[in-house]
Structure 1
Amino acid sequence: MNKDQNNLPQPESWTPSEVETIKLKSNYLRGSIEESLNDELTGAIAADDTQLIKFHGSYQQSDRDLDDERKQSKLEPLYSFMIRARVPAGIASTEQWIAMDNLANSYGNNTLKLTTRQAFQLHGVVKKNLRQTMKGINDALLDSIAACGDVNRNVMSTSNEGLSLVVGELADFANTISEHLLPKTTAYHEIWLNKKLITEEQQDEEPIYGKTYLPRKFKIAIAVPPYNDTDVFANDIGLIAIVENSKLIGYNFAVGGGMGKTYGMPETYPRLADVIGFVRKEKALSVIEEIVKIQRDFGNRNNRKQARLKYTLDRIGSESFIKLLEFRLGFDLEPAKDYKFTSNGDVFGWKKAANGLWFLGLFIEHGRVKDTDELKLKQALREVAELKVCDFRLTGNQGLVLGKVATADKRKIQEILSRYYAGEYQKISGLRKHAIACVALNTCTMAFAEAERYLPDLVSKIELILAKNNLSTDDFLIRMTGCPNGCGRPFLGEIGLVGRAPGKYNLYLGAGFSGDRLNTLYKEMLSEEEILGCLEPLLQQYSKERQAKERFGDFLIRKEIVEPAQSVSIIKKG
């Protein structure tokens, strides 16, 4: 352990950004949210409050499809709010699924969104219904605290216990991390639940975050090899579970991942986390807290576009970061232990856990739970929930696992799913199974192009190319986002499509199938016709020239069609 503090990085003095000033003046995230909610003259909230309400788990949005029409009619945008529930490890009870379903019907747009961070999202909640919706979430023993904002967000973990003996223990630890890093302010309970938890003699305090919280959002995920279904390397902290003799002994810590970038700003970039060492499980929580505190103290508070931990790590250097971390901890990290990931998608179908219970992995296209004329998915899952024979486990790939099913109850679930034609993952192509799309238009304020509403149609057209080349059953990672902020982790797709303008996308190729290599920009500003025109000859070549078990991304690198981008690094102190 380095005991010489003089050789360690020192915090810089930042001129605070506008958002930093808003946080500082907010009285621990209260701001004027109460007044904004009571203002009946507008469907929006005050500008500063749009930043603060994120910490409470909500974003203000508008229906961008109607913006022009409403502007011509001299009406303000049709404002509504997205609410994101915090669900550590993505595990929800039957009662919680039913409650979220009811809230979507009563106050939302009649759909549930299962996110890439294993959380529920409700869309289309108008301001006058925000309190009732928040109360309903809390009545179900869920909440939306820290689901958004400059704090640690929903903690992810592999949720399918049919894949590993230690999944249940990992889920428990995800919940422990989430609770430990929750903001301590009572503003949430005061504003949404009418609970005055602070007396005149008491004051709010944030022992981990401080008055201005973190410089930017912070993400943590856990995965157990060989399944990287939470994309651990895309997170500020990724925990790789190390299992010996069927027991969890600790975690390889990966630090500094993040997907977002900004067009026209090369100083912003996606980055995979570096593996910095191994930590015994009993010490893991203290290491997580110290990493969060280092980011609190060293993160850029002037420029939010360079405020994530990945930029802090690159600014001070990985080895210096490790030395600083070990100094604060008072002990050294152990060398990283061997591990191997083979995929970062979901596993579909029935899997039996060691305790004899069953887990059913279901395909939910882009995580949107809704009813259509062709597929009554929402109704099917509601009927499954009403059986009260399973729990509901959201995955990091917008999928769903029905968990803890007794053998005697499997048939009941399967009968409901078959009746509604839901969950027929056997009939879905290997491309569609692994497709991810963010919400994008019409509600996301940052989207330049479509994603969730468009990718299913594009996949159908690519599937025709796959069929011609006998590739329909092969697995491919395709991901689409409406902007480069990276909510759908597009830079980890073997095929990544990132919106530039309506109907135009940048095409990225060559990521690793297990989430350990970024993809590379191939061509810019492509229309649908141009996207298909680029992919068809590459898929034809792949079909003819690939090696045994060679993945599409690896093939593109081997054939020098694209240059390899960043891969995961294991940092060794030297």
Structure 2
Amino acid sequence: MNTKHNNNNNITLLSDNERIKKASNFLRGTIAQNLDNSLTGGFNADNIQLIKFHGMYQQDDRDVRIERENQKLEPLINMMLRCRLPGGVITPTQWLAIDDFSKQYTLYGTIRLTTRQTFQLHGLLKPNLKSLHNLLNKLGLDSIATAGDVNRNVICTANPMESTLHYQVWELAKNISAHLLPKSRAYAEIWLDGKKTESTDSEPILSATYLPRKFKIAIAIPPMNDVDVHANDLSFIAIKSNNTEKIIGFNVLVGGGLAMTYGDITTYPRKASEFGYIVTKDVLKITEAVVTTQRDWGDRSDRKHAKTKYTLDRVGTAVFKSEVERRSGIKFHPIHPYIFTNRGDRFGWVQGIDGDWHLTLFIENGRILNNAPKKLLKYGISEIARVHSGSFRLTANQNLIISGISKDNKLLIENILKKYGITNDDIMPQRQASMACVALPTCPLAMAEAERFLPEFITKVENIMSKYKLEKDAIVLRVTGCPNSCARAMLSEIGLTGRSIGRYNLYLGGNNIGTRIPRLYKENITEIDILNILDMTIERWAKERINKESYGDYVVRSGIVNAVVNSEKDFYE
């Protein structure tokens, strides 16, 4: 461990990640040397942390771990790469190239759409990494800063109908992402064979040791909360002009975050705090001030408490806000009134105000693959990409929007979808309102199944919904393989977080617009236990609900759980 001195002259231990970052020569480490080592499929311990800043995680296939161990073999080490894709927009040309690479050079042959509005490729072997980075560069893409202690992929509302507003927030997402990117040339030197120079790197925003922990930013356009603003360190809520299709400013929210650690009540999910309203031209200044305040004030000794939410609770929201105003030279105005009514994606065909058509496809768990012979999703989307002149938009709910379809191309795309069995027609609302993180077999943090568990589990939940004549209703339901909440289970009406294989914690009582955290109802229980509880509570909801009351609101009103009002103080009560 490294050390630092605090203001009281006491020595505080820094986390080992701080040592790694400081010694890395601006994120270079010895990654290049590890790439040339053919004796192992992976990287050394320090470089495992550093490659995250370049957009990759080292993983192994846990399904075959024991078998390989018995054979005296190294685990099947492979990498997951996450693309930087601010706002989730990708061209058909880019899609086709990524799809082709995934077929030829990954262990699983799939593409995974994420809750951070981008895509991941799993099962990358070390010899193929530079080829992928060079392909991304050729396509105008990269994976810089999609992991590690930096600002991650900036997400925004993907609403296809209000195309003018979407374009404005997409442009802003790209500008924020570019402004906060690491300035180090390490990525180009290592992955693109950029010319090595004497290091004169500097990081005026992020610092030589970067941020204390990961940082997430989202932009929402009310009444849609499809990006879950309360899950992010910094969120901007767009305020539209009354007379034009123009965004005039943003409400600023700071300090959201959903991860926690089992058994440690000093960790908890937290909703973001409202700081105030700013005009559009001040967004980058406020963004930089929030990031640098967290950079300087965040906890670098205990990574469990290093996120912005804990900094706010430690120093006080008013103190943090005042520092942001001082650093930016901008005073927050009172919050503009706003309301959220929905956060799910609008499935099916819609026509935008610009006259173009948009089609939102439900992608279960975000996994693009072929489930032959019923649903050849991967083939179908590739064929659409060959004829589509618009773009694809990835949503923060793991779905895909085929965007900007001309009137002449609409029938052509409909015929391709039919050819490959791609339709939303047979998908119940409950399935569309559910999602899961990747979890097993690739995520090293997973304690239980999530992505592979969810489809059959939702079928059982759908049977319960049908039993009580609720087929047209939906409950926001999310499953994560651990308490880090990558699928945002801590903002769902029903949240499951993995404890061990086949066992989960069950949380109830969030709301369907994503502004309330659910409460722990039962701990460490099986799927059968969960389904019994859901059967009982859904039956009561069907009989006792008032005016189409949502499930989450019902379980709070009826006293099944108490609402979580302040997660720092009452989440564990």
State the TM bucket, normalised to the shorter chain: over 0.9
Contact 1:434 1:477 in 2 (8 A): yes
Give the TM-score normalised by structure 1.
0.95
> Aligned equivalents of 2:35 and 2:420: distance in 1?
40
- The structural deviation recorded for 1:415 is 0.9
Contact 2:269 2:567 in 1 (8 A): no
Q: Return 477-486 or 384-393, whichever deviates more.
A: 384-393
Name the count of aligned residue pairs: 558
- The structural deviation recorded for 1:159 is 2.0
- The structural deviation recorded for 1:199 is 3.3
Q: Structure 1 pair 164/137, CA: closer, same or farther in 2 (3 Å)?
A: closer
Flag structure 2 segments of 5+ consecutive residues without an equivalent: 1-6, 569-573
Contact 1:28 1:211 in 2 (8 A): yes
Match of 1:54 in 2: 52
- The structural deviation recorded for 1:349 is 1.4
Which secondary structure does the structure 2 equivalent of 1:334 belong to?
Answer: coil
Match of 1:434 in 2: 433
Contact 1:277 1:334 in 2 (8 A): yes
> Aligned equivalents of 1:364 and 1:82: distance in 2?
20
Q: Deviations over 1:411-460 (max 9, x none)?
A: 111111122221x2232111100111000000100000000011101000
> Aligned equivalents of 1:380 and 1:475: distance in 2?
28
Question: Which letter maps to 1:161?
Answer: P
Contact 1:250 1:278 in 2 (8 A): yes
Q: Return 135-144 or 307-316, whichever deviates more.
A: 135-144
Question: Which letter maps to 1:78?
Answer: L
- The structural deviation recorded for 1:354 is 1.7
Q: Return 443-452 or 541-550, whichever deviates more.
A: 541-550
- The structural deviation recorded for 1:11 is 13
- The structural deviation recorded for 1:549 is 2.2
> Aligned equivalents of 2:455 and 2:438: distance in 1?
13
> Aligned equivalents of 2:348 and 2:15: distance in 1?
48
> Aligned equivalents of 1:541 and 1:305: distance in 2?
38
> Aligned equivalents of 1:13 and 1:228: distance in 2?
43
Q: Deviations over 1:240-267 (max 9, x none)?
A: 0011223211110010001111111111
Question: Which letter maps to 1:393?
Answer: R
Whether 1:94 and 2:92 are equivalent positions in the alignment is: yes
Contact 2:360 2:401 in 1 (8 A): yes
Counting only pairs closer than 5 Å after superposition, residues 231-270 of structure 1 correspond to structure 2 as 231-245=228-242, 246-270=245-269
Which secondary structure does the structure 2 equivalent of 1:467 belong to?
Answer: helix
Q: Return 49-58 or 165-174, whichever deviates more.
A: 165-174
RMSD: 1.6
Contact 1:11 1:297 in 2 (8 A): no
Question: Which letter maps to 1:207?
Answer: P
Which secondary structure does the structure 2 equivalent of 1:425 belong to?
Answer: coil
Counting only pairs closer than 5 Å after superposition, residues 23-102 of structure 1 correspond to structure 2 as 23-102=21-100
Question: Which letter maps to 1:106?
Answer: Q
> Aligned equivalents of 2:102 and 2:526: distance in 1?
34
- The structural deviation recorded for 1:85 is 0.3
Which secondary structure does the structure 2 equivalent of 1:222 belong to?
Answer: strand
Match of 1:552 in 2: 551
Match of 1:389 in 2: 389
Counting only pairs closer than 5 Å after superposition, residues 136-175 of structure 1 correspond to structure 2 as 136-163=135-162, 165-175=164-174
> Aligned equivalents of 2:216 and 2:113: distance in 1?
17
- The structural deviation recorded for 1:14 is 4.8
Match of 2:285 in 1: 286
> Aligned equivalents of 2:126 and 2:10: distance in 1?
40
Contact 1:275 1:568 in 2 (8 A): no
Contact 1:228 1:341 in 2 (8 A): yes
Q: Deviations over 1:363-384 (max 9, x none)?
A: 0001000001221000000000
> Aligned equivalents of 2:160 and 2:334: distance in 1?
28
Contact 2:511 2:553 in 1 (8 A): yes
Q: Deviations over 1:314-360 (max 9, x none)?
A: 00111111111111122310010000001111111122222111111
- The structural deviation recorded for 1:15 is 2.8
Match of 1:199 in 2: 197
Q: Deviations over 1:96-141 (max 9, x none)?
A: 1111101111211210000000111000001111111121122111
> Aligned equivalents of 2:105 and 2:439: distance in 1?
21
Which secondary structure does the structure 2 equivalent of 1:356 belong to?
Answer: coil
Match of 2:322 in 1: 323
Q: Deviations over 1:485-510 (max 9, x none)?
A: 11110111111010000000000011
Match of 1:177 in 2: 176
Q: Structure 1 pair 389/567, CA: closer, same or farther in 2 (3 Å)?
A: farther
Q: Deviations over 1:519-550 (max 9, x none)?
A: 11000111111111110011111111101121
> Aligned equivalents of 1:401 and 1:10: distance in 2?
54
Match of 1:450 in 2: 449
Whether 1:226 and 2:212 are equivalent positions in the alignment is: no
Contact 1:434 1:475 in 2 (8 A): yes
Q: Structure 1 pair 323/12, CA: closer, same or farther in 2 (3 Å)?
A: farther
Whether 1:419 and 2:419 are equivalent positions in the alignment is: yes
Contact 1:160 1:401 in 2 (8 A): no
Whether 1:133 and 2:132 are equivalent positions in the alignment is: yes
Work out which of the residue numbers 206, 210, 226 in structure 1 matches 2:207. Answer: 210
Which secondary structure does the structure 2 equivalent of 1:439 belong to?
Answer: coil
Q: Return 90-99 or 67-76, whichever deviates more.
A: 67-76
Match of 1:314 in 2: 313
Match of 2:336 in 1: 337
Match of 2:380 in 1: 380
Contact 2:286 2:330 in 1 (8 A): no
> Aligned equivalents of 2:276 and 2:163: distance in 1?
23
Q: Deviations over 1:127-157 (max 9, x none)?
A: 1111111211221111000011100000000
> Aligned equivalents of 2:505 and 2:19: distance in 1?
35
Q: Structure 1 pair 314/405, CA: closer, same or farther in 2 (3 Å)?
A: same
Counting only pairs closer than 5 Å after superposition, residues 336-355 of structure 1 correspond to structure 2 as 336-355=335-354
Which secondary structure does the structure 2 equivalent of 1:145 belong to?
Answer: coil
Identity of aligned residues (%): 47
> Aligned equivalents of 2:454 and 2:517: distance in 1?
21
Give the TM-score normalised by structure 2.
0.95
Q: Structure 1 pair 118/11, CA: closer, same or farther in 2 (3 Å)?
A: farther
Contact 1:14 1:301 in 2 (8 A): no
Contact 1:159 1:168 in 2 (8 A): no
Q: Deviations over 1:468-498 (max 9, x none)?
A: 1111110210100000011110111111010
Q: Structure 1 pair 30/564, CA: closer, same or farther in 2 (3 Å)?
A: same
> Aligned equivalents of 1:163 and 1:446: distance in 2?
39
> Aligned equivalents of 1:265 and 1:163: distance in 2?
44
Question: Which letter maps to 2:21?
Answer: K
> Aligned equivalents of 1:165 and 1:316: distance in 2?
40
Question: Which letter maps to 1:434?
Answer: A
Contact 2:388 2:405 in 1 (8 A): no
Contact 2:437 2:479 in 1 (8 A): yes
> Aligned equivalents of 1:516 and 1:52: distance in 2?
35
Which secondary structure does the structure 1 equivalent of 2:402 belong to?
Answer: strand
Match of 2:409 in 1: 409
Counting only pairs closer than 5 Å after superposition, residues 474-553 of structure 1 correspond to structure 2 as 474-553=473-552
- The structural deviation recorded for 1:565 is 1.1
